[in-house]
């Protein structure tokens, strides 16, 4: 009887120890993880698409989004522990709404930008991620003008800000 009680107590203690140790490294989704770097250099964006006037705007927006993180400082290339490279790989627009009286004239277009991002750990020389696709879409309303060029140009800062937020999420959300 004493042996059975000791064996049962041992089994319960072992089960509790296994359960506690198994959950010791568990984190809920969205729980912040410490980044393997505290400084980052953002290379100027390279445009391999037909996105009008996008490189400078997107470069500035990505740096601004990353600078808002309290655990990360945007720095010069020589001081950075990590380097982010962004390339605009694709840019396209598709008709979303037409005029009621003339279906050949568009009222709104969906703009889609695809970037390829690479994050290099400068300390190890290894990529944390490489050529990772990041996609952002936005709607451009023409306001009855019928011409996409003006509204598309005016929308570029909004599109760049949305894309920069997605890129920053990829950098700050690495596991």
CATH of the domain at 125: 3.30.160.150
61 assigned to some structural domain: yes
Enclosing domain of residue 101: 40-172
132 assigned to some structural domain: yes
Q: Which of 89, 75, 70 is nearest to 122 (CA)?
A: 75
Q: pLDDT confidence of 35, banded at 50, 70, 90?
A: confident
Q: Which of 64, 83, 43 is nearest to 160 (CA)?
A: 64
The pTM is what?
Answer: 0.74
What is the model's pLDDT at position 42?
97
Range from 3-7, 40-44, 48-52, 144-148 that averages highest in pLDDT: 40-44
28 assigned to some structural domain: no
57 assigned to some structural domain: yes
CA dihedral 10, 16, 20, 26 (to 10 degrees): 130
152 assigned to some structural domain: yes
13 assigned to some structural domain: no
What backbone torsions phi and psi does residue 32 show, to the nearest 5 degrees?
Answer: -60, 140
99 assigned to some structural domain: yes
What is the model's pLDDT at position 88?
96
Number of Cβ atoms within 10 Å of the Cβ of 143: 11
Give Cβ neighbours of residue 5 (< 8 Å, ≥ 6 apart): none
Number of structural domains (the chain) is 1
Let me know: does 147 contact 105? Beta carbons within 8 Å: no
- For 81-129, the pLDDT digits (tens) are 999 999 999 999 777 665 565 555 566 778 899 999 999 999 999 999 9
Let me know: does 133 contact 89? Beta carbons within 8 Å: yes
Taking CB atoms within 8 Å and a gap of at least 24, the contacts of 153-156 are: 153/52, 153/53, 155/111, 156/51, 156/52, 156/53, 156/54, 156/57
What is the model's pLDDT at position 155?
78
């Amino acid at each position: 009887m004493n042996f059975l009680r000791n064996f049962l107590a041992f089994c319960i203690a072992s089960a509790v120890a296994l359960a506690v140790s198994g959950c010791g490294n568990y984190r809920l989704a969205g729980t912040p993880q410490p980044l393997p770097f505290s400084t980052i250099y953002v290379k100027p964006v390279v445009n391999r698409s037909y996105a009008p006037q996008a490189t400078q705007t997107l470069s500035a927006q990505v740096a601004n989004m990353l600078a808002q993180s309290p655990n990360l400082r945007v720095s010069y290339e020589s001081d950075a522990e990590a380097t982010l490279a962004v390339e605009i790989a694709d840019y396209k627009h598709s008709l979303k709404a037409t005029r009621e009286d003339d279906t050949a004239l568009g009222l709104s277009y969906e703009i889609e930008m695809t970037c390829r991002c690479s994050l290099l750990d400068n300390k190890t020389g290894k990529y944390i991620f490489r050529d990772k696709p990041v996609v952002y879409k936005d709607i451009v309303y023409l306001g009855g003008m019928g011409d996409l060029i003006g509204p598309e140009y005016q929308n570029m800062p909004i599109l760049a800000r949305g894309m920069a937020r997605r890129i920053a999420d990829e950098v700050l959300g690495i596991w």
